[in-house]
Structure 1
Amino acid sequence: MFSIRNFASFVLADKLSPEFIMSKHFSEVLAGALSRRDFLKASSALALTSSLPAFALTPNQTQAVQSSLTFSEQSHQMTPNLEVPAGYQAQVLLKWGEPLFSNGPAFDPAAQTAEKQQQQFGFNNDFIGFLSLPLGSTNSNHGLLVVNHEYTVPEIMWPGSPADTALDKAQTDTDIAAHGLSVVEINYQNGQWQQKKNSVYTRRITPLTPMTINGPAAGSDRLKTAISKDGVHTLGTYGNCAGGVTPWGTVLTGEENIDSMFAGDFSQSKEQASLTRFGMEEKAQKSWAKHYPRWDLAQEPNESFHMGWIVEIDPYDPTSVPKKRTALGRFKHEGANVYINQDGRVVAYMGDDQKFEYLYKFISTNRYQADNRAANLDLLDQGTLYCARFDADGTVDWLPLVFGQGPLTAANGFHSQADVVIDVRKAADLLGATPMDRPEDVEVNPANGAVYVMLTKNADRTAEQRNPANPRAENKAGQIVELVPPKGDHSSSSFAWDMFLLAGRRDDPSTSYHPATAVNSWLACPDNCAFDSKGRLWVTSDGAEDFDIAEGVWACDVSGASRALMKRFLRAPLGSEICGPFFTPDDKHFFCSVQHPAQGSSFEAPSTRWPDFDTKMPPRPAVVVINRKDGQVVGS
């Protein structure tokens, strides 16, 4: 949504250099970023709006635009604590080191071991999925919580604040055990959520957990290693960022920045080009390769091909083996969110969270069966993967990534569909996908069927590299793009798209906000998102502190007069970000992760000791659940 007044200020503001204003390329990009209808409105209204200051509203206009969200807006102020609106309360439910089992060891930051950590809640919780108990119900007071543990911050974890690469073997083992996922059973009683520590569902999934590789890459010679002679059976998951919950009751977790775990000279490997395209480097970023050949690229270059996938986990069956769904492609997955199309096929949307990478969707071959869970458990193994190309006419085309089609042939190094999904970035390069400004969460709004793409930022984009969906050079603030499938058909090869919001400081003429946006409700660096049952968009940030405002959560309507009128809901503690937003089915409980509080400081002198505020305790990443004190729906 690009307001008329904002468009006028964007083009006419004297803050912009004459060269920038007069750039023909920029004009073409901006025109392409708007729907034809909005662009014509904006163009015809220039003469009427150019005399008005940006965001100026008459009192009558201000009163006329009312958001459906009734909470009081938070300020941008950065504080050591988590701040919620008046009338709301936040409960810290699970913290790093929390025992997950009835006989689990208590948390002692001065004496952590791998054995203890394997029985405790992991570090840097990110994605959260709530799945009702019993299976198939919509119970909002009893369920399973599945939580990702994306990465660690040794400077906060250990006395002396050691660097990532300086960990000894015992510390490295603990570090490894802090990654992966936690599955816990929780219930809501007497106004509080409780963890059931003797639950049969409780589970830690780590980089050492047995898993299988499924789909077109399974058994490929490129996946055969010392720990996987058959290229099918493997160990573990890590770098788990966002994810999604499927309609059949499983969790999809995305392996993202897995390159940081690897190190070693791979210059002589036949996979050198592929490793480089993924971002592998000889220089170590962590200590894992120093202690284990598995992560040494000089010894095991193929090991990295076991990572960078979407992993499907069945939390209702604690004996089940997690499966890596290679049909969905290998890249730095922020996550994956699925939608049942009108013809019954499953559509999964995914972003490759790195600068200049791509947006993807997957369409299953077989159809979802609401009354046959067993038939749905392998739906993501067969289907077609697509990458997105955005055009200036307001359309986005989905380009099939299929072996033998177009340039995806032996002449370009592809000898099977396994090669296509392993080197999907290269395949998308060849097809001409649109390089994006760090595509993170991508979700379908259940109320209107539109797809919303969070693009966090890309300060490295030059003026020459701008494109319709990514129209700003040195983009430090990010944007949100909206995709609309024709007649609600997500299998269509072409969608319409529009710019929903260009984030950044409210007085920056390159941003686009609803004119009634309050002084504390502009945002920067959209990251994760969620929708409540009314279809309202809830957005978290990752990078807002670079703008001297607290990270947090914002929300808005997606239609009507208050479309894209953002309101700040939460403020994160210093040094942290909020991620993993997730609602219970009744919208009365809002789960989120507070990740890496006090990052950038040290174990001995952290910028905040949230959530314990105990001098004997370091800051601890934690899962928080927020609700209204009167028991009504969050947001109202």
Structure 2
Amino acid sequence: MPQKSSSSPDFQSVLAVRLSRRNALKGLGLSSATMMLGACSIKTSSVVTSASAVSKAQGSLTFTELEHGLDAYLSVSPGYQTQVLVSWGDALFPNTPAFDPDQQTEQRQLKQFGYNNDFIGFVSLPLGSQASDRGLLVVNHEYCSSEMMFPGSPSELALDKQQTDVNIAAHGLSVVEIARQADGQWQLVLNSPYNRRITPHTPMQMTGPAAGSSRLFTRYSTDGVQTLGTYGNCAGGVTPWGTILTGEENVDTFFGGDFSASNEGDNYRRFGMVSDFRTSWGLHHERWDMRQNPAEPLHVGWVVEIDPFDPHSVPKKRTALGRFKHEGANVFVNADNSVVAYSGDDQQFEYLYRFISKGRYQPDNRQANLHLLDEGTLYCARFNDDGSMQWLPLVFGHGPLTAENGFHSQADVQLDCRKAADLLGATPMDRPEDVDVNPVTGQVYVMLTNNSNRQTAQVDGPNPRAKNLTGQVLELTPPGGDHCAGTFSWELMIVAGKKGQSGSQYHPDITDNGWLACPDNCAFDNLGNLWIATDGAEVLGVADGIWATEVSGPNRALTKRFLRTPEGAELCGPFFTPDSQNLFCSIQHPGGGSSFDNPKTRWPDFRDDLPPRPSVVVVTKQGGGRIGS
């Protein structure tokens, strides 16, 4: 794993000066990032794009803060309500058998909502509208917790063939139409022609620079183009042309088998693959046994683009965005109509990436936009302690990316992104997870979850703590709002951890309930407020959940707790409807760390005959209105 030492002998002094300057600007109602933004041309699907939107956002988060806690229930700020919209095992199609944990089969699971829901995307119906009462819900199913799925709480390696096939079928994505009823409740539309399950067996295609590479030839792909399925899907993104991007992240755990003789040994070891099987997939299916199918791991670790409006479409693995542990991919249309996609590589000491399309977004030509992510330039990020950062292009034949270092084509660069970024001198980060663009200000926010292995000598600008257990939120500002610029500025907006903990950094008026730990996913409402979801707060004795903060003005970095997950769960995939009156949230692995037979919680059903079930909930304000007010 690459380890970067600080370029400054006294970085904590540098950090103190920068944070002191930021707080002084905050008192003026500005951040240095806001001052540098200038006239930003923002082109997104957000309903708020005017220059006055930032001023309107001041003091906009007036909800009553929820107290910290840790219990079996889902809790939300007073004056708000939650509805469980869909849970693992719920029917997605007419005439699907009711969920029965004692009668699980692959055939049933293929018609039911999958397990451990993560990213949520909502795209309005009809296509191109800004409707907030009807749309398609697209949800990732990242992984399974078999000890919570099956009676007897079997380990991952103890699953028989039938249980393994249920496990596989519970991965991937679910697409389902939803509509809000007259009483304000949301409902699945089971007879919708859009409803679909996408699984590890779904036919797909590789596109872009790596497609057709001989390194991708397998028993199941004799041309390096045709491929099968997606899994390990963590965060994602929604494109302006209405497609869904899903990031394949911790795919290493699905494989086993000795690969010591493989030419891909260094690549696989860097990805975390080991010869021991950690799931039953490779025990029952040779596809995931690297002894029998050694190139299969190269078919995952990509961003997959899915058209939810065409249930017969073949999902595309966009290799132009590189192969690594994608937390997600969020798209921004620059002022020149270039499409920019940001993605983090969610592993300790890995990197932050940006992709810029060669083609231009055409608002009136959706068909042309469907190919924008196939050609362009991928960049990795290098940060400097003076608050600047550079985007370094990963282009074959440029700099060290040559045959002398093992690169023989652009396909090799895409397949070995991590190695290429090493050679270019990118900055190793504290697990970059969600990376998203504020639709109002145009600034980029990076959730850095934690890094317990960072040593004192490795501390640097955006990663200011050794043995970092609680993470930070990084703010990036493109000059003049140009997301294609080669140099941005950066600023630490939040350094997470308990209030008053050494090294933590928030607004000075934060309450005892406002501190957070391990930022993971994020979302923005239509005023540009930042909503932060966490994964890891339980290590500090409180539940994970959602916190919200304004990004500029006197309340910048004044985080407030809004929602609390049941014990053992994390909060994933927060996503607003266009009017910001509905907030969808994934409650993943409730009761995690316990078992099917003796769970910590039986949320959301609280029935003795049902285990806890990962679910998507929708949060609304009692009586209606914007979330957060």
Residues 395 and 117 (structure 1), Cα distance of their counterparts in 2 relative to 1, 3 Å cut = same
Q: Counterpart of 1:564?
A: 557
1:362 equivalent to 2:355? Answer yes
Distance 2:281 2:324 in 1: 21
Q: Counterpart of 2:153?
A: 161
The 5-angstrom pairing of residues 18-417 of structure 1 reads 27-31=10-14, 35=18, 38=21, 67-189=59-181, 190-417=183-410
1:635 equivalent to 2:620? Answer no
What is the CA distance between 1:32 and its match in structure 2?
5.0
Residues 66 and 368 (structure 1), Cα distance of their counterparts in 2 relative to 1, 3 Å cut = closer
Amino acid at match of 1:386: Y
1:483 aligned to which of 476, 479, 494: 476
Conservation of the 8 A alpha-carbon contact between 2:8 and 2:385: no
SS at structure 1 position matched to 2:555 = coil
SS at structure 2 position matched to 1:561 = helix
Amino acid at match of 1:389: R
What is the CA distance between 1:166 and its match in structure 2?
1.2
Amino acid at match of 2:522: C
Q: Counterpart of 1:624?
A: 617
What is the CA distance between 1:71 and its match in structure 2?
1.1
Conservation of the 8 A alpha-carbon contact between 1:125 and 1:593: yes
Q: Counterpart of 1:57?
A: none
Q: Per-residue displacement from partner, 1:355-410 (whole Å, max 9, x unpaired)?
A: 00000000000000001100100100000000000001110100000000000000
Q: Per-residue displacement from partner, 1:72-93 (whole Å, max 9, x unpaired)?
A: 1111110111001111110000
Q: Counterpart of 1:62?
A: none
Residues 114 and 34 (structure 1), Cα distance of their counterparts in 2 relative to 1, 3 Å cut = farther
Q: Which stretch has the larger CA shift, 97-106 or 331-340? A: 97-106
Q: Counterpart of 1:5?
A: none
Q: Counterpart of 2:602?
A: 609
Distance 1:355 1:241 in 2: 16
TM-score (norm 1): 0.91
2:414 aligned to which of 421, 427, 442: 421
Conservation of the 8 A alpha-carbon contact between 1:132 and 1:143: yes
Runs (4 or more) in structure 1 with deviation over 2 Å come to 23-30, 32-37, 39-42, 65-68
What is the CA distance between 1:68 and its match in structure 2?
2.2
SS at structure 1 position matched to 2:253 = helix
Give the alignment's Cα RMSD to 1 decimal. Answer: 1.5
Q: Counterpart of 2:36?
A: none
What is the CA distance between 1:30 and its match in structure 2?
4.7
Residues 374 and 39 (structure 1), Cα distance of their counterparts in 2 relative to 1, 3 Å cut = closer
Conservation of the 8 A alpha-carbon contact between 2:83 and 2:618: yes
Distance 2:20 2:443 in 1: 18
SS at structure 1 position matched to 2:126 = coil
Distance 2:23 2:13 in 1: 12
Distance 1:624 1:517 in 2: 27
Distance 1:75 1:29 in 2: 32
- Counting matched residue pairs gives 592
Q: Per-residue displacement from partner, 1:465-505 (whole Å, max 9, x unpaired)?
A: 11111010000000000000000000000001000000001
Conservation of the 8 A alpha-carbon contact between 1:34 and 1:498: no
Distance 1:39 1:635 in 2: 25
Residues 85 and 558 (structure 1), Cα distance of their counterparts in 2 relative to 1, 3 Å cut = same
Q: Per-residue displacement from partner, 1:288-307 (whole Å, max 9, x unpaired)?
A: 11111111111212100000
What is the CA distance between 1:70 and its match in structure 2?
1.2
2:505 aligned to which of 509, 512, 518: 512
SS at structure 2 position matched to 1:226 = coil
What is the CA distance between 1:334 and its match in structure 2?
0.3
Distance 1:108 1:217 in 2: 43
2:488 aligned to which of 479, 490, 495: 495
Q: Extract unaligned runs of 5+ from structure 2.
A: 1-5, 26-56
1:461 aligned to which of 454, 461, 472: 454
Distance 1:314 1:239 in 2: 19
Q: Per-residue displacement from partner, 1:591-618 (whole Å, max 9, x unpaired)?
A: 0000000010011110000000000000
Distance 1:365 1:604 in 2: 54
Conservation of the 8 A alpha-carbon contact between 1:34 and 1:394: no
SS at structure 1 position matched to 2:75 = coil
Distance 1:199 1:87 in 2: 33
What is the CA distance between 1:25 and its match in structure 2?
5.5
Conservation of the 8 A alpha-carbon contact between 1:32 and 1:393: no
Conservation of the 8 A alpha-carbon contact between 2:327 and 2:434: yes
What is the CA distance between 1:67 and its match in structure 2?
3.9
What is the CA distance between 1:434 and its match in structure 2?
0.3
Distance 2:145 2:242 in 1: 32
Q: Per-residue displacement from partner, 1:42-70 (whole Å, max 9, x unpaired)?
A: 9xxxxxxxxxxxxxxxxxxxxxx984211
Q: Per-residue displacement from partner, 1:318-350 (whole Å, max 9, x unpaired)?
A: 010000000000000000000000110000000
Q: Extract unaligned runs of 5+ from structure 1.
A: 1-22, 43-64
Q: Per-residue displacement from partner, 1:241-281 (whole Å, max 9, x unpaired)?
A: 00000000000000000000000100111211111122111
TM-score (norm 2): 0.92
Residues 165 and 36 (structure 1), Cα distance of their counterparts in 2 relative to 1, 3 Å cut = closer
What is the CA distance between 1:111 and its match in structure 2?
1.2
Residues 589 and 421 (structure 1), Cα distance of their counterparts in 2 relative to 1, 3 Å cut = same
